[in-house]
Amino acid sequence: MVTNLDGRARPAPQLGDAFDTARAEQRAALIGYLPTGYPSVRGSIAAMEAMVEGGVDAVEVGLPHSDPVLDGPAIRSAVEAALHAGTRIAHVMRAVSAVAATGAPAVCMSYWNPIARYGVEQFAHDLAGAGGCGLIAPDLPAEEAEGWRTASDRNGLDRVFLAAHSSSTERLTTIATASKGFVYATGVTGVSGSSGLVPARARHLVTRVRQVTDLPVCVGLGISTGEQAAQVAEFADGVIVGSAFVRRLLDAPDERTGIRGVHRFAADLTAAVRSAPAPVRTTRTSRGDSS
């Protein structure tokens, strides 16, 4: 249970509800990422709330890590500052609770090492208790996630694994089978914030993933403009934007201006996603390798 902004208790928001709403409105869902602790813990929470006010359907609440190997310069700069300022998992749980109180699902984004050090079962218990709905751990292979699968099932959490263009159909099947909530299809090869999103290539990966699962498939990495978001919204169940939100905070002269920039950008992306034609959702037709 979580407490609404009006003080009333209710069940924690779930990813499935967000996708159901988007599907009923014949559109893709919009998911935004921000790291906890930048430009401050309070400022990061306010920025996440601003994303929701701007129209995002769910928020990836980032847990800062000292070696974010899959993240580009924007996110690296923000998480390094957050760690230097003393951001800890307790602050992440505060952010999760604040997002859940808005009515939007809060899914934690974290590398695996901090969770392993914290204790897998304890992390799952605390995340669920804070109102979180699941975890994205980009460096945790689905094949090595038995402990997390057990802990997440026990605590009613979704688990999201990443699918890449280079993945074979056999591996996509493993990823999809291990996932709950949605499958994260990487839009580009490289770190977050990379340019060069090719919608046709991302569409092909989404199609391949859909051949092995009925879960929603969301595309992230490489999306930084409303035009790109609208292109992806034509074929994916969800559009994930991270570095471009972080950049609004990094480039702002002060915290308040950055939060306003996040709100405006969220509203722009929301308008772009909702203006796109309804996503074409192919169904499972074959398990033959199409790589």
Tell me the mean pLDDT in the region 28-45. 98
pLDDT at 222: 84
Judged against a pLDDT cut of 80, whether residue 102 lies above it is answered with: yes
Packing angle between helix 41-54 and helix 255-275, nearest 10 degrees? 30
Single out the catalytic residue among 71, 126, 158, 237.
Answer: 71
- Assess whether 126 carries a catalytic annotation: no
Q: What global pTM score does this model have?
A: 0.91
Packing angle between helix 120-129 and helix 89-102, nearest 10 degrees? 30
Judged against a pLDDT cut of 60, whether residue 285 lies above it is answered with: no
Tell me the mean pLDDT in the region 235-239. 97
Single out the catalytic residue among 49, 57, 60, 158.
Answer: 60
Tell me the mean pLDDT in the region 201-216. 96
CA dihedral of residues 124, 127, 132, 136 (deg, nearest 10): -60
pLDDT at 191: 44
CA dist., res. 41 & res. 2, Å (int): 20
pLDDT at 72: 80
pLDDT at 32: 98
pLDDT at 291: 35
Tell me the mean pLDDT in the region 208-232. 95
> Which one of 98-102, 197-201, 222-226, 286-290 scores highest in mean pLDDT?
98-102
**161-206: pLDDT as tens digits:** 999 999 999 999 999 999 999 999 997 654 444 455 668 899 999 9
The chain-wide mean pLDDT, for the chain, equals 91
Nearest to 41 by CA among 77, 95, 1: 95
Q: Return all residues near 44 (Cβ < 8 A) that are at least 6 apart.
A: 34, 35, 36, 37, 38, 82, 95
- Assess whether 146 carries a catalytic annotation: no
Tell me the mean pLDDT in the region 36-56. 98
